[in-house]
Structure 1
Amino acid sequence: MRLEQLTYLIAVHESKSISLAAERTHISQPALSSAISKLEDELGVVLLKRTNVGAHLTEIGEQVIIIAKEVLNKVDEIKSIAHGDSIELNGNISIAVDPSINITVMPEILTTFKYNHPKVNALLKVGESNNILRDVQAGKADFGIILKTDAFCKSKDINYKELFSDEFVIISGIHCEMTMGSSTMTLNMALSLPILLYNTEYITNCGVSSVLQKYGDLNVSYRVDNLEMMEKILSQGKTIAFVPQFMADEYVKSGIIKKITLSDTHLEVSVILIWLNRHHLSMVEKEFIKVIKAVCSKRM
């Protein structure tokens, strides 16, 4: 029995797919399948049910996976004791983040982590929060940093840590006639204006819209999946957007976007780190979480 066989078995358990597990562990699909088959032969049991729609643990496989995670955790502990702070980590981490995180705290997170662990590769995807939630649930990403949406609150089998809290504000072009001369606005007034939503899928319900719909119908004029396009459309002065305040502060630096606060209500939003309950946290990932929490704590 080899440690990498346990790693591959855990990867299949997390992604429910041999092909996706192979992609995430950076080996070929036949090689991963062969490694697990050899483990099954050695143990004399079937660990995986392989079907056309995915791979799932057998009853004995469920028992083995619990011990496998404990074994890998103990291996990490041994490495930590042996090397202390000088341990040289390597591997890959896949993380998906909301655009508000990508343009604000993510550069510091990535550069800090890379400085501490230069041999670890971080694979980054940017997407809307509900889209990221689905990616994490499907095992396509190890972690997600998202806005705490209604969809997340209804989800199951997800671990999370709250990183910091903020509130939604409005952004528009500095020459927008609808917001000219205004630094504040009522929520009802804002909802009556044409709204631009950031959305990375054809599914129309995104995290921001699920919050706003509680207060009335939305007059959605645009849905885009590109921040540069979002800025250019807003600069034309024909629409507004609701974003977290920390993201608005970043947009304002361009000189063509302004921030407007809500005068009659506070639309609170939490930024959270999420991962699957069944996902085994490696030493690399635990170190990555430490950096994420340290950088985000500056915004609390």
Structure 2
Amino acid sequence: MRLEQLAYLIAVHESKSISLAAERTHISQPALSSAISKLEDELEVVLLKRSNTGAHLTEIGEQIITIAKEVLNKVDEIKSIAHGDSNDLTGNISIAVEPSINITMMPDILTTFKHNHPRVNAILKVGESNNILRDVELGKADFGIIMKTEAFCKSKDVNYKELFSDQLVIISGNNYHSIDSTMSLSKALSLPILLYNTEYLTDCGVSSVLQKYGAINISYRVDNLEMMEKILSKGKTIAFVPQFMADEYVKSNQIKKITISDVQLEVSIILIWLARHHLSMVEKEFLKIIKAVCSNKM
């Protein structure tokens, strides 16, 4: 029995798919299947039920997976003692984040992590909150950083930790002359609004907050933040964004921030991961840096 066989079994358990598990562990699908089959032969039990709908643990597999996680945790503890400052950690880690987090938090998170752990490969994906949630649920991403939405609240297999709370504000071009420094929400919703990508259609992110207050006058949808800034700078539309993102936009001197005068649109930015996911020492170190950077930013 080899440690990597246990790691492969855990990966299949988390993703419920041999192909996804192979992708996450960076080996070929036949190699992963062969490793688990050899483990089954050695133990003389069937660990996985394979079907067209995926791969699931057998009853004995469920018992073994619990011990397998404990074994790998102990291995991580041994490595932690041996490495001391953890600079010799190796491996891969993947995270999916919303665009607002990508441009504000991730540069510090990734550079700090890479400085501390140069031999770990960090893979970053940017998307909308509901898509990120799905990637985490399917095991395509180890972690996600999203705005807490109703879709997330319905998810039963995902753990989360709140990184910080914020509120939505309005941004527009400096030359949008009909807009003051404060505005009522009803007036804002009557103006042409720009949304990132397909937010209103998929009920995620900003739109999941706004839809509670009435219809949204959508004029543009874009999937690029640079294009979003260029359209806003023309002075013909507004956008709702978290305050931390607005603070980033106003640095360009082409965008201004408008406070909503009568309603506080509170949002929560959360870190999510699969409940059944085994957190490796690499991932635990990554979590520490995420929490530290977000704490310093707010």
Q: TM-score, normalised by structure 1?
A: 0.96
When residues 4 and 158 of structure 1 are mapped into structure 2, their CA distance, relative to the original with a 3 A threshold, is: same
> Given the superposition, is the C-alpha separation of residues 178 and 9 from structure 1 closer, same or farther in structure 2, using an over 3 Å criterion?
farther
**CA apart distance, 1:200:** 5.8
Give the counterpart of 1:251 among 249, 252, 268. Answer: 249
Q: Is 2:87–2:117's contact at 8 Å kept on the other side of the alignment?
A: no
- Specify the SS of the correspondent of 1:50: strand
Is 2:281 the counterpart of 1:280? no
Mapped partners of 1:268, 1:105: distance in 2: 19
Identity of aligned residues (%): 84
- CA deviations 1:41-94 (Å, max 9, x no partner) are 111111111112211111111111111111000111111122322551011101
Matches of 2:175 and 2:200, distance apart in 1: 30
Report the CA distance shift for 1:175/1:278 in structure 2 as closer, same or farther (over 3 A).
same
Moved over 6 A (4+): none
Indicate the larger mover: 128-137 or 32-41.
Answer: 128-137
1:136 alignment partner in structure 2:
136
Correspondence 1:116-195 to 2 at 5 A: 116-179=116-179, 182-195=180-193
Which residues of structure 2 form unaligned runs of 5+? none
Secondary structure of the 1:141 match is coil
Cα distance between partner residues in 1 of 2:249 and 2:86:
39
Q: Distance in 2 between matches of 1:54 and 1:246?
A: 41
- In structure 2, the residue matched to 1:265 is 263
Is contact 2:163-2:270 (8 Å) kept?
Answer: yes
Q: Retained in 2: the 8 A contact 1:96–1:127? A: yes
Given that residues 127 and 200 in structure 1 are in contact (C-alpha distance below 8 angstroms), is that contact kept between their aligned partners in structure 2?
no
1:70 match:
70
Instruction: Output the amino acid matched with 1:160.
Output: Y
Query: Which string of whole-angstrom CA distances, capped at 9 and with x for unpartnered residues, describes residues 115-157 of structure 1?
Result: 0000001100011112111111111100001111121122111
Q: Is the 8 A contact 1:193 1:240 kept in 2?
A: yes
Gaps of at least 5 residues in structure 1 are: none
C-alpha separation in 1, matches of 2:201 and 2:143: 22
Residues 33 and 200 (structure 1 numbering): CA distance in 2 closer, same or farther, change over 3 Å?
farther
CA offset digits 1:172-203 (Å, max 9, x no partner): 11112442xx1110011111111111136895
What is the aligned partner in structure 2 of residue 209 from structure 1?
207
Question: Is 2:12 aligned against 1:31?
Answer: no
The answer (yes or no) to whether the contact 2:105–2:293 under 8 Å persists in 1 is: yes
The TM-score, its normalising length taken from structure 2, stands at 0.96
